[in-house]
Structure 1
Amino acid sequence: MEVISIIGLEYILALYDMQHIDLAERLGIKKQNINMWIKGKQKIPKKYLPVLKELFGINGDYFNKNINEVDKLEIQKEKLKRDLNPIIKKQELVYIAEDINDMVQIPVYDKEEINTIERTIEKVKIMNKFKSALEVVDPNPYIDTYKLMVEILEKGQHEAIVHKTMEALAHYLEILPDKITTGEEQKEFESEIFEVFDDYNY
């Protein structure tokens, strides 16, 4: 399946329903310049990036780059923040599987639209990691393992045993830091499952 790349500026203009000519007038340049930027034939000069950032309230890194699905969602989130002026109600401690696996504080807003898009961004990131894992080896010798994981998640995603098992495996494989645990009950469960691993010489 062919992935069509899109320059950030083009996506942002569409999201804000702004015509090329309107942006050109605001920047005091010709419409042809905007067209060249969007087609990727010319980079947006650095002097215009702060103006664009101020105009749209979007991080300047997005305007020149070919954006992916996560970038699009991040841009939508920034627009929502600007439109809704949300207030942070509280900070929530969650596990983030990024370059450094750890617990981080994330804001919870009073506008559910922002919280929803935050969750969507996290889901897309997880799906992308899963796809990358599937594509590591071709043919993938562990494809049956991935099939089994999907089956388990489909049938038992709300079962406590599934979460406990995944967390136990994560600790066993040293994916989760030691401080990330749900308490004594989880430790007891992990101890029992590790005994099973030992029985099978894992």
Structure 2
Amino acid sequence: MIGLEYILNLYNLQHIELAERLGIKKQNINMWVKGRQNIPKKYLPVLEELFGIDQTYFGRELSEIEQLEIQKEKLKRDLNPVIKKYEQQFSSGEINDLVEVPIYDQEEMNAIEREIEKAKLVSKFKTAMDIVDHNPYLETYKLMVELLEKVQHESVLHKTIEALAHYYEVLPDGVSSEPEQEGFESELFEVFDDHNY
């Protein structure tokens, strides 16, 4: 869906209403939404100001993550949330490290943040699976999904995944979820060493 169409739906704004605000004909808005005509550059800053959304979103197809980001910006404008505190969370990417994540006084904001994070994880998981056309580790991915479906609440799963992240240096040494994690990892790494892994 083109950004402008998504934003108009989200704000419950009719094409005619936007056309009146911009001082143009409704047909122009229809052409923009259907992708038959690009939004003229002179209107992009006006749209950005009107909706409080970066102008790069209006004229292109939006991903699920971008749609959630736009919902988040609308919520910020509607709720005026206050950041209660910051929480450290692991961030994967080019630099795997802990980052400060805001915790808001409005649960709707925290919920949309979690939805965005989940959508990013799903996208990264899919990308990881698509690295090779005929992925030889497809059975491993199936097992991972089974574990997540059946025992994701078990601490041994979390401890083992964190240990693997340390073992392969995906997670920095100083980042640890629990005090006893180091002991768990040293015993697990001994098993790896015993079997020449």
Q: Judge which range, 99-108 or 120-129, deviates more.
A: 99-108
Paired residue for 2:135? 140
Alignment partner of 1:66: what SS? Answer: coil
Paired letter, 2:110 = N
Alignment partner of 1:95: what SS? Answer: strand
From 93, 105, 120, the counterpart of 2:100? 105
> Could you tell me how far apart the structure 2 residues matched to 1:30 and 1:144 are?
56
Paired residue for 2:151? 156
Deviation at residue 183 of structure 1 after TM alignment: 5.0
From 51, 65, 78, the counterpart of 2:60? 65
1:114 to 2:109 alignment: yes
Deviation at residue 184 of structure 1 after TM alignment: 4.2
Aligned length, in residue pairs: 197
> Could you tell me how far apart the structure 2 residues matched to 1:100 and 1:20 are?
43
Paired letter, 2:182 = K
Q: What are the within-5 Å matches in structure 2 for residues 19-58 of structure 1?
A: 19-58=14-53
Q: Deviations over 1:99-151 (max 9, x none)?
A: 32221111111110110111011111111111122222232210110111112
Paired residue for 1:176? 171
Paired residue for 1:81? 76
Alignment partner of 2:87: what SS? Answer: strand
Paired letter, 2:95 = I
> Could you tell me how far apart the structure 2 residues matched to 1:97 and 1:40 are?
35
1:17 to 2:36 alignment: no
Paired residue for 1:131? 126
Q: Deviations over 1:29-86 (max 9, x none)?
A: 2222222222223322222222111111212221122101111111111111111111
Structure 1 vs Structure 2 CA RMSD = 1.4
Paired letter, 1:175 = V
Paired letter, 1:128 = S
Alignment partner of 1:137: what SS? Answer: coil
Identity of aligned residues (%): 66
Alignment partner of 1:11: what SS? Answer: helix
Structure 2 spans left out of the alignment, 5+ residues: none
Alignment partner of 1:99: what SS? Answer: coil
Structure 1 spans left out of the alignment, 5+ residues: 1-5
> Could you tell me how far apart the structure 2 residues matched to 1:141 and 1:195 are?
27
Alignment partner of 2:176: what SS? Answer: coil
Deviation beyond 4 Å, 4+ runs, structure 1: none
Using the size of structure 2 for normalisation, the TM-score is 0.94
Q: Judge which range, 28-37 or 85-94, deviates more.
A: 28-37
Using the size of structure 1 for normalisation, the TM-score is 0.91
Paired letter, 1:198 = D
Deviation at residue 181 of structure 1 after TM alignment: 1.3
> Could you tell me how far apart the structure 2 residues matched to 1:39 and 1:150 are?
39
> Could you tell me how far apart the structure 2 residues matched to 1:194 and 1:12 are?
51
